[in-house]
Amino acid sequence: MTQKHISHPEGLPNCAAGHRARHIHDLRGPAAGGGHLVECACSSTKKHSDADAALAAWRRMNKPARTPRAPALPEVTDNVVQFNLSLADQPAGRRKAAGGAHGSR
């Protein structure tokens, strides 16, 4: 038998589809197509001469999806007073007519 299953006590991360991964060491020489690979039911890494390189390739292929950041909360400022300077929000009695009485006789 030229292939050997290598078990990891901490386990390998599942693939993106959720399949269990397994680490296989093909005992043939590199020229004959041997090396380390990690595979699951739907994908596998290429064969590497180093076990750590095969595991790094598996982790790179099956990174967990990034979650979007939560929107930033607005800063609460207790020491700021904002005056209402808009003409549209003022009561009708306080508004002046356009042009006013300035300069007219």
- What pLDDT was estimated at residue 32? 84
pTM of the model: 0.56
Of 14-18, 60-64, 68-72, 75-79, which gets the smallest average pLDDT? 75-79
Q: Where are the domains of the chain?
A: 3-61
**Tens digits of residue pLDDT in 23-52:** 999 888 878 888 999 999 998 899 998 999
- What pLDDT was estimated at residue 101? 61
Q: Which among 25, 19, 18 has a CA at the least distance from the CA of 3? A: 25
Q: Which among 36, 71, 34, 68 has a CA at the least distance from the CA of 55? A: 36
